Amino acid sequence: MTWRKKIFDLFFASLLVLVLGPILLALLAWLLVKQGRPLFYVAERMKGVDQPFNLWKLRTMTVVEGDAGVSGGNKSARITPIGNWLRRRRLDEFPQLYNILKGDLSFVGPRPPLREYVSRHPELYARVLQSRPGVTGLASIAYHRHEALLLERCTSAEDTDHVYSHLCVPRKARLDLIYQRHQNMCYDFDLVFQTIGNIFRRGG
Cβ atoms of 83 and 60 closer than 8 Å:
yes
Work out the burial of residue 56: count CB atoms within 10 Å of its CB; fewer than 13 is exposed, 13-18 middle, 19 or more buried. Answer: buried
Kindly report the pTM of this predicted structure. Answer: 0.93
User: Which of the four pLDDT bands, split at 50, 70 and 90, describes residue 203?
Assistant: low
pLDDT in tens, 145-156: 999 999 999 999
Q: Can you give the residue ranges of every domain in the chain?
A: 3-203
Cβ neighbourhood burial of 180 (10 Å; 0-12, 13-18, 19+): middle
Q: 89-145, pLDDT tens digit by residue?
A: 999 999 999 999 999 999 999 999 999 999 999 999 999 999 999 999 999 999 999
In which band, very low, low, confident or very high, does the pLDDT at 3 lie, cut at 50, 70 and 90? confident
Cβ proximity of 98 and 9 under 8 Å: no
pLDDT of residue 204: 53
pLDDT grade for 10, boundaries at 50, 70 and 90:
very high
Mean pLDDT of the chain: 94
* Alpha carbon distance 156, 63 (integer Å): 18
What residues pair up with 45 in beta bridges, in sequence order? Answer: 53
Q: Phi and psi for 134 in degrees, rounded to 5?
A: -135, 170
Taken in order 7, 9, 10, 14, is the CA torsion positive or negative? positive
Long-range Cβ pairs for the range 193-202 (8 Å, 24+): 194/141, 195/90, 195/136, 195/140, 195/141, 198/141, 199/89, 199/90, 202/88, 202/89
The pLDDT tens digits of the residues spanning 58-94 come to: 999 999 888 888 999 999 999 999 999 999 999 999 9
pLDDT for the residue 61: 95
